[in-house]
Amino acid sequence: MVKRDFEKICDAIIGISPYIRFVGVIGESGNLLAHKRRPDLEPLLNAKDTQYQFSHIAIKTDLEGFFDKNLGEIEFVWEERKKVQTISFAIEKVRVWISIDKKVIRSEVLRIIDSCLPIVKKYS
């Protein structure tokens, strides 16, 4: 996959819902390959903490690969935190990471997930 593909993924996903705060494609080493952020939005993490978060995602992705043979590959991971919800999808060795407003009802998060799956599968 090339950078243009990563940008297309971000463009497609950010348009799914006005509740999506951020979409990023994170490489194997935790580098941000492409991203889109909702305009007029204050990031919850500073630059240093953002890099730590992306490195954490890359390490988790690598470790999760050990269980793929027995459990199957991860389709998505949904986390609920006190200030934000996140979803991540695996595409080969990269991760698409999405943050969503905390106060969104679960049915909207499920709609976002269902809308993301065909996009992710297209590039898998």
CATH 3.30.450.30 given to domain 3-123 = yes
3-state secondary structure of 29: coil
Closest of 62, 6, 67, 15 to residue 34, by C-alpha: 6
Assess whether pLDDT exceeds 70 at residue 31: yes
Quick one: pLDDT at residue 124? 86
Q: What is the pLDDT of residues 81-120, one digit of tens each?
A: 899 999 999 888 888 999 999 999 999 999 999 999 999 9
Q: Tens digit of pLDDT for each residue in 45-72?
A: 667 767 767 776 766 766 676 677 788 8
Amino acid identity at 90: A
Between 73 and 61, residue with greater pLDDT = 73
Residues 6+ away with beta carbon under 8 Å from 93: 27, 28, 61
